[in-house]
Amino acid sequence: MEWFHHQKSGIESAVRRDTPGDLWVKCENCKEIVYKSDWDQTLAVCPACGHHHRFAAREYAALLLDEGTFVEEDSTVAPADPLKFSAKKKYRDSVASAQKATGEKSAVLSGTGAMDGRPVSLAVMDFRFLGGSMGSAEGEKIARALLRGLDRRIPAIVVSASGGARMHEGTLSLMQMAKTSSIIGRMREVGVPYISVLTNPTTGGVTASFAMLGDAIIAEPGALIGFAGERVIRETIRQALPDGFQRAEFLLKHGFLDDVVARKDLKSWISRFIALLTDPVP
C-alpha cells in the first residue's frame, strides 16, 4: 500500500519514484510533469489541473502557522498494542515500520503556534502513518489539542486525513470518537472556536466524530469525505455511484461543508473566520 512506502521529508508525490531523481513530479490525476521546485511552490497542487496531492502533517503545520511559531506537544505519545493484535502482520510491527517510514511516533502531529499573530492549538493527521487511522494514541493527541484550546481559550484547528478508526485496537479505537467529541461539546458550551479541515481522504470513524463537528468545516478540493467506504456501499446497494460521490464538492452541495478551500488559501480563510468570531467589537 502506498502509505507504507518510505518517504522522507519535503513534498512527495505517489509517483515520484517513477521519475528520474528528484527533479520532476508527475501529477497523479492529469499526468502533467512538473518541476520539483514549482511543485514545492504550488504546495503539491498540480499547476495544470489543480489536483491536491498528499501533504505531510508537518507541511500543514508550516503552511498554517506563522513561521517559527510551531511548538510541538505530546511528541512522545505513541500507539501501544493493548489487544496484542496480529493480522497478516503484527500490529506492533506495522506501527514500527510506519514510525520508521514517516519519522513520526503516531498518525497525529500536534502543538500550538500563531496564526497571523493569534495563538491557536493545532492537530494534523498524517495519512502516511497507517492510513492516518485513529487508535488510542491518536485519539489522545487530538483530545489534548482540543483541551489546550478549551483550557487556554484559544481556537483549535484539526486537519484530518484518515481512513477512520484503527481496527487493530478494536473497541478502544471506537471509543476515541467519544473521547474527542465530548471535548468539542465542552468547547461549544464556553464558546471556543473549533475549525475542522478535511483533506483527502477523511472517512469512517474520524468523519463520524470530530471531523464533522467543527464550528466551521472546510475541505480541500476533490477530497474524498464520507462515512462508509465506496467499496462497501457498492457491495451493499449494487448500483453505480453518482459522479463526484463523496467528494468535497458533493458534500458542499448537500450542505455538510461550509466551503471548499484551495490549499494555498486555507490559512487566510481560517484566520479571517477566527477573527470574525473572536475579535473584540471595536
Partner 1 sequence: MTMGKGAGLDFEQPVLALDRKIAEMRTLAMENGLDLESEISRLDKKREQLLAKSQQKMTAWNRVEIARRQGRPYALDHIQASFTDFVELHGDRTYSDDPAIVAGFARLDGIPVCIVAHQKGKDTRENIHRNFGMPHPEGYRKALRVMKLAERFGRPVICLVDTPGAFPGIGAEERGQAQAIAENILEMSLLKVPVVVAVLGEGASGGALGIGVGDRLLMFENSWYCVISPEGCAAILWGDRLKAQEVADHMKLTGRDLLELGLIDRVVDEPAGGAHWRPEAACASLKTALVSELRALCSVSVDELVRSRLERYARVGVFLEGTRRGP
Q: Which residues bind partner 1 (CB under 8 A)?
A: 74, 76-80, 82-83, 85-88, 135-137, 139-140, 143, 165-179, 181-186, 188-189, 204-205, 207-213, 226-229, 232-233, 236-237, 239, 241-242, 245-246, 250, 254-256
Pairwise CA distance, residues 182 & 164, whole Å: 18
Minimum distance from residue 211 beta carbon to partner 1 (Å): 8
**Residues 68, 161, 190, CA angle at the centre, nearest 5°?**
70
Minimum distance from residue 214 beta carbon to partner 1 (Å): 10
Minimum distance from residue 277 beta carbon to partner 1 (Å): 19
CB-nearer residue toward partner 1: 8 or 88 = 88
Name the β-bridge partners of 35. Answer: 24
* First and final C-alpha spacing in the chain: 53
CB-nearer residue toward partner 1: 48 or 77 = 77
CB-nearer residue toward partner 1: 53 or 205 = 205
Minimum distance from residue 262 beta carbon to partner 1 (Å): 23
CB-nearer residue toward partner 1: 136 or 200 = 136
The grid coordinates of residue 177 equal 470518537
Spell out where 82-231 has E strands: 108-115, 118-125, 156-162, 194-203, 216-219, 225-226
CB-nearer residue toward partner 1: 127 or 210 = 210
Q: Which amino acid type is present at position 115? A: M
CB environment 198-215: b (16+ within 10 A), e (fewer): bbbbbbbbbbbbbbbbbb
Pairwise CA distance, residues 201 & 246, whole Å: 10
Minimum distance from residue 148 beta carbon to partner 1 (Å): 14
Q: How does DSSP classify residue 11?
A: -
Q: What element of type H or E holds 71?
A: strand 71-72
CB-nearer residue toward partner 1: 35 or 245 = 245
Minimum distance from residue 4 beta carbon to partner 1 (Å): 13
